[in-house]
Structure 1
Amino acid sequence: MANSPEMRASDADRDRVAAILREHTAQGRITMEEFNERLESLYESRTYGELAKLTVDLPDVDLRHLPVKAEAPRASQKPAQQGMHSGMKAAWSAWAVASGINWVIWLIVSITSGDLIYPWPLWVMGPWGVILLMSTIFGNNPPKRP
């Protein structure tokens, strides 16, 4: 069944038209002022006919086949760097610092007691290290960027 101009539009329909307006703004067909005016009218629209009036003077845009914009590499990020995301690096750093502190404490206690005591830091760094290792090997979902 074809959508008649009197038929009610959904939020998804409004979002689609908003995306089309954003694309036309990005391409320079409408100014930011026009975009804001049309966007205001868009969210007040109730029917397909009202939505169509907002883009009637603009060419059709296929949102599924837009050219992909290349993201410029950040200064702190090397292009060939495909390793761990920053959250995983921070987790490994915390593990290394905590493990180092525990080994220093163990060494100080061993030296002051005059005898090598049981290497208890293994119980701190072992399970935590295993969990981090499994997350590093099998976890492939980096954190979402805002």
Structure 2
Amino acid sequence: MANSPEMRASDADRDRVAAILREHTAQGRITMDEFNERLEQLYKSRTYGELAKLTVDLPDVDLRNQPATVSQSPARRTGLHPGLRAAWGAWASASGINWVIWLIVSITSEHLIYPWPLWVMGPWGVILLISTVFGSPPPDKSKKKKKNK
């Protein structure tokens, strides 16, 4: 059954039109001001006819054939859990700060003192390493989206 202009549009329909508007903005067909105006009107729209008015002056865009332009960070490609990435970042920051303090104390005392930062970073690093190797994988966002539908 074809969608008549009077039929109510869903959130998914509005999201599709928003993606089309983003693509036309990226291609330079509409300015950011026009995009923002159309986007504001988009989320006020209730029917297919109102949605169609937003893209009537734009050529059709097949979003399925658009190249993927989003690059993932190395941590995301490796599948490291976001909490674990944050823990490794905290470990690296704390270790770096401790080594700087150790270096300053060693320089000001005019001789090298015992490398105590090893006791800070060692056990913590071992625990993180074990968690990284044997920990659970990150949550699958695609499964979560399917459950919400």
Common topology (TM > 0.5): yes
Return the alpha-carbon distance in structure 1 between the equivalents of residues 132 and 85 of structure 2: 12
Shift of 1:59: 1.4
- State the superposition RMSD in angstroms: 3.9
Q: Corresponding residue for 2:48?
A: 48
1:136 paired to 2:132: yes
What TM-score results when the alignment is normalised by the length of structure 2?
0.56
Structure 1's unaligned 5+ residue stretches are: 104-124
Q: Is the 8 A contact 1:6 1:47 kept in 2?
A: yes
Shift of the 10–70 alpha-carbon distance from structure 1 to 2, 3 Å rule, reads: closer
8 Å Cα contact 2:7-2:48 kept in structure 1: yes
Greater Rg by CA: 1
Which letter maps to 1:136? T
Secondary structure at the aligned position of 1:12 is classed as helix
State yes or no: 1:26 paired with 2:26.
Answer: yes
| TM-score, normalised via structure 1 length | 0.57
Q: CA deviation at 1:140?
A: 4.1
* CA pair 62-49 structure 1, distance change in 2 beyond 3 A: same
1:43-88: per-residue Cα shift (whole Å, max 9, x none)?
2211001101111111111222211226498xxx8xxxx6977424
1:5 aligns with 2:5: yes
* Structure whose residues are more often helix by fraction: 2
Q: Report the CA distance between 1:35 and its aligned residue.
A: 1.3
Q: Is the 8 A contact 2:79 2:138 kept in 1?
A: no
Give the equivalent residue in structure 2 for 1:100: 119
> For this pair of structures, how many residues does the alignment match?
112
Residue 89 (structure 1) aligns with: 88
1:44 counterpart SS class: coil
Long gaps (5+) in structure 2: 99-116, 140-149
Of all paired residues, the percent bearing the same amino acid is 65
The Cα offsets for residues 82-137 of structure 1, whole Å up to 9 and x where unpaired, read as: 69774242365569x88705x9xxxxxxxxxxxxxxxxxxxxx49x945x344211
